[in-house]
Amino acid sequence: MSGCIVSKFGGSSVANAEQIEKVRLIVAENDKRRYVVVSAPGKDRNDAEKVTDHLFNIATDGQHFRARGKSIDAKESLDRVMGKFASLIAGLGIDGSDIMEGLESDLTSHISDKKRIDFFASRGEHYNAKIIARYFKKTGMAAEVMLPEDIGFIVSDRFGNAKVLPATHTNLKESLHEDLISVIPGYYGITLRGDIAVLSRGGSDLTGGEVAYAVDASCYENWTDTDGVYQVDPRIIPEASVIPQLTYKEIRLLSSKGFNVFHFDAMVSCKNKSIPINIRNTNNPSAPGTMIVSSRTPRETAVGIARMDGIAYVYIEKDMIGETIGFTKEVLDIFKDYSINTHHYPSDKDDISVIVDQQDLVGKAEELKKTLTAALTPNFLEIRYDLSLLSPVGVGMKDTPGVLAKASSALFGENINIEIVDQGPSQMSFHFGIFQKNADAGLRALYRTLLK
């Protein structure tokens, strides 16, 4: 099966009939594009909420939106989902009466317990794949819908965050063939008990990666609404360029610090077989996009700068921390007990800071401080809020003298104090923690110094 291409199209790429026609033209343009993974239809100008959110709302009898302060009940969500799919069918000019009947039957079915939410949430991808495959066939393309339940896309029964099981790869290799275009719904699979279970949000990326691995694809294309991965957020720095090539390690570092163009868990299988990933724009298919590869020869020092807002750090000062075996583990175990994810924990001889998302501290901060104080008896403890992490990334930074000095000088030139600095042993990234009010100016200063 080598030489084929797996093409995944995100929600914005399949949001309406006009977008789906763009998808068809892209697939038809290259006869190696044999596997098409699709998301649920995304928002367009007529939609205020995503289809998947409406599906969650139906499954929870309106609780999904009530918890977000929105007055959209389950009946209204049902009407909007039905209207969205009816609009797709009409816009594409296909016969979809059976699809609409199946959708309504599924969304009014009485499934109880936790299985209900996953089943309803999966219906966006399920029925969108049926519509797109039927449209492809109408235009003369040899296409068939390949549902996860039919091709053996087996996942664990961890509902809401299912994991792909190893048997999936063998099943897909046996079920999928290049003699036709397979249209595959992303985001969900089937458990060993035969239940529908969804992956984490954004899981269609993961479906595409698993398909690419199973069929030994020559490339995994991830089609979205951006020309690729930018050096920095182009909303803040419009002159930023698309990065032509990144390693898996670089995109993972960027993704973990605010570059949300790709579900980085989806890279794992592709990385294991050195399958390149090409992030491209459905609305600008002539743009080459960003290619993610196993290795590259850098022609630059830093390749991009990620930014993560809404950061806090817990600062603990105590004599002899550096000589106390297991102190850091004890600290991190307490954060684990409070279900608070930690990003970094830079330390010195007598102090340590634990960097977290400040949202994770909501409702927990005072109790966390009490627990840390009782367990560790620190000399001083405080929580600092409203920081941003700015993280330059690039394989070219390794063993390049002066990068950290140049970056800190750039912030000094803008009169920005660095609250936290951390660099890992790989030397492929470092992290400056600054107050969020200075983040825009700090990002521009680092861009000019390290990328411009």
Q: Going along 318-375, which residue ranges are E strands?
A: 342-344, 351-357
| Chain mean position to CA 302 | 23
Cβ neighbours of 332 (radius 10 Å): 15
pLDDT single digits (tens) 38-87: 999 999 888 889 999 999 999 999 999 999 899 999 999 999 999 999 99
The pLDDT assigned to 264 comes to 65
pLDDT for 261 equals 63
Exposure letters 8-23 (e unless 16+ CB within 10 A, then b): bbbbbbbbbbebbebb
Q: Residue 190 — very low, low, confident or very high, per pLDDT cuts 50/70/90?
A: very high
pLDDT of 251 reads 87
Whether the per-residue pLDDT at 191 is higher than 80: the answer is: yes
Using alpha carbons only, how large is the chain's radius of gyration in Å? 24
Cα-Cα-Cα-Cα dihedral sign, residues 396, 400, 402, 405 = positive
Interval 403-407 mean pLDDT: 94
Q: What is the mean pLDDT of residues 250-272?
A: 75
What are the residue ranges spanned by the domains of the chain?
5-293, 304-451
Contact in structure between 28 and 138 (CB atoms under 8 Å): no
Please write the tens of the pLDDT for every residue from 311-327.
999 999 999 898 889 99
Average pLDDT, the chain: 93
Q: Which run of H or of E encompasses 316?
A: strand 304-317
Fold classification of 5-293 (topology level): Carbamate kinase (3.40.1160)
Q: Give me the pLDDT at residue 37, please.
A: 98
pLDDT at position 1:
47
* Whole-angstrom distance, CA of residue 412 vs CA of residue 439: 13
DSSP string, 87-150: HHHHHHT---HHHHHHHHHHHT----TTHHHHHHHTHHHHHHHHHHHHHHHHTT--EEE--HHH
- Give the per-residue pLDDT at 91: 97
The one-character DSSP state at 395 is: G
pLDDT (tens digit per residue) in 19-45: 999 999 999 999 999 999 999 999 988
Mean pLDDT of all residues in 159-173: 94
Position 417 pLDDT exceeds 60: yes
CA dist 83 and 75 (Å) reads 12
Distances (CA, A) of 34 to 3, 146, 279, 283, 373: 10, 12, 17, 20, 59
C-alpha distances in angstroms, 410 versus 235, 427, 430, 444, 448?
21, 19, 15, 9, 8
Nearest to 368 by CA among 383, 355, 357, 380: 383
Partner residues linked to 430 by β-bridges: 423
**CATH architecture observed for domain 304-451:** 2-Layer Sandwich (3.30)
| Residue 256 in this model has a pLDDT that exceeds 70 | no
Q: What percent of the chain has pLDDT over 70?
A: 98
Q: Is the pLDDT of residue 258 over 60?
A: no
Q: Determine contact, residues 313/355, Cβ cutoff 8 Å.
A: yes
pLDDT tens digits, 109-155 = 988 777 999 999 999 999 999 999 999 999 999 999 999 999 999 99
